[in-house]
Amino acid sequence: TVILCNGKVTILNPEKTQASGVELIKLSECSREEITTFANSENSKDIFDALNVLYLNEGLVIKVADKTIVKEPLTLIHLITGEESVHHSRLLLSLGKNSQLDVIQQFVSKGNLSYSHHITELQLADGAILNWHKLQLGLGSNFLISRETGTQSANSRFTFHTHTVDSEFVRNEIGRAHV
């Protein structure tokens, strides 16, 4: 389980995750080379991408090794707290060849009138399978903008489900995957 509270990353039980072939690294602890292997929104002409890069609080890099089938879902909890606050976070996920991962991503709120912007960049190698469930629950009067984008290799599969409940303003965007 990973908790992102106002964009700040807390990894629960990192030893257990690493033992299963999954590597979790805070974005602030990554080398520039590790980060630039992703599509990277720094060159985007989208204003929301530019704001995310400029005001990024923190992010997470997830790497799943080749031929790793993760049996338990990885849970990512985005907790938005405080009144009238702004949070920017980013997730970079790389699945190796013939690997498989299920992700449950939850956005929940404990405050009002906050703005949260999250970008997920995905890389799926040949034969990788990713099942993603995004739950946006009880965001109330908060604003959430979320984008998923990435690249897929041959024979990879990406399944994505979004469930939004009790939210005044949510913008979900899925970028085109490239083969």
What is the pLDDT confidence band of residue 175, given thresholds at 50, 70 and 90? confident
Tokens of 104: 């449950």
40: pLDDT strictly greater than 60: no
Q: What is the pLDDT of residues 58-108, one digit of tens each?
A: 889 999 999 999 999 999 999 888 788 888 899 999 999 999 999 999 999
DSSP character string of the chain: -EEEETTEEEES-HHHHHHTTEEEEEGGGS-HHHHHTS--GGG---HHHHHHHHT--EEEEEEE-TT-B--SPEEEEEEE-SBS-EEEEEEEEEE-TT-EEEEEEEEEESSBS-EEEEEEEEEE-TT-EEEEEEEEEEEEEEEEEEEEEEEE-TT-EEEEEEEEEEEEEEEEEEPPPB-
Q: What is the pLDDT of residues 84-94, one digit of tens each?
A: 888 889 999 99
What is the pLDDT confidence band of residue 48, given thresholds at 50, 70 and 90? confident
Residue with the bigger pLDDT between 11 and 124: it is 124
Residue with tokens 């991503």, as numbered in its chain: 105
End-to-end Cα distance, the chain: 30
pLDDT score, position 43? 62
Residue with the bigger pLDDT between 98 and 55: it is 98
pTM, 2 dp: 0.87
CA-only gyration radius of the chain, Å: 15
34: pLDDT strictly greater than 60: yes
Q: What is the pLDDT of residues 108-156, one digit of tens each?
A: 988 788 888 899 999 999 999 999 999 998 888 888 889 898 889 989 9
20: pLDDT strictly greater than 50: yes
Beta pairing partners, 2: 11, 76
Residue with the bigger pLDDT between 117 and 19: it is 117
Q: CA of 24: how far to CAs of 48, 97, 120, 159, in Å?
A: 25, 18, 14, 22
Beta pairing partners, 65: none
Characterize the bridge pairing of strands 129-152 and 115-124: parallel
Question: Residue type for 21, please?
Answer: G
